[in-house]
Amino acid sequence: MTTSYPVLSPEERKPTKPMKKRSAWRARLIDAERGFSFGFRSGSALFTQIFIGLSIIVTAMVFRVSFAQWIALIVAMAAGLAAELFHLAILLIADSLDSETPQKAAKLSAAALLMAMIASSTVILFVLGTRLSEILD
């Protein structure tokens, strides 16, 4: 006696799990984590930022910067990282569209990224330079 089983498609073979409704703050946190992971996979700019950021943190620990200087360093590094993420987002959108306007937006975001990095670097160099001059005096 033979029994014939129905042939299931790949979609039908997947187990179905009930989708849990996440709270809004948790969904935003998951989106942010996925955004960071996508940013790390899409280019080496974030790896460079993290490496330089860790170098700045170690240098600040060695120089024993004050609490206010720590705040300035963290805000400067966060602003640079946020500018890099915004630039990656605009590049992603610009690459998906075919007109000339998105390419101009990508160039504008590159200019904004440069300005944010110059400002961030200036604050970081000022804080660490001031602390170094205090140590050497």
Burial profile 48-81: b = 16 or more Cβ within 10 angstroms, e = fewer? ebeeebeebeeebeebebeeebeebbeebbeebb
| pLDDT confidence tier of residue 18, bands split at 50, 70 and 90 | low
Q: Does residue 4 belong to any structural domain of this protein?
A: no
Number of domains in the chain: 1
Q: Does residue 125 belong to any structural domain of this protein?
A: yes
Q: Supply the pLDDT for residue 7.
A: 65
Q: What is the CATH number of the domain that holds 103?
A: 1.10.287
Compare 128 and 3 and report the one with higher pLDDT.
128
Q: How far apart are CA 7 and CA 45, in angstroms?
A: 48
Q: Does residue 7 belong to any structural domain of this protein?
A: no
Q: Does residue 24 belong to any structural domain of this protein?
A: no
Q: Does residue 9 belong to any structural domain of this protein?
A: no
Q: Does residue 113 belong to any structural domain of this protein?
A: yes
Domain that holds residue 109: 44-136
Q: Supply the pLDDT for residue 12.
A: 64
Q: How many CA atoms lie within 13 A of 26 on its CB side?
A: 4
Q: Does residue 90 belong to any structural domain of this protein?
A: yes
Q: Does residue 80 belong to any structural domain of this protein?
A: yes
Please write the tens of the pLDDT for every residue from 31-82: 888 887 887 777 778 888 889 999 999 999 999 999 999 999 999 999 999 9
**Comparing C-alpha atoms, which of 87, 73, 81, 71 is closest to residue 48?**
81
Q: Is the dihedral of CA 78, 80, 83, 88 positive or negative?
A: negative
Q: Supply the pLDDT for residue 13.
A: 65
36: Cβ contacts below 8 Å, ≥ 6 apart: 46, 85
Compare 14 and 32 and report the one with higher pLDDT.
32
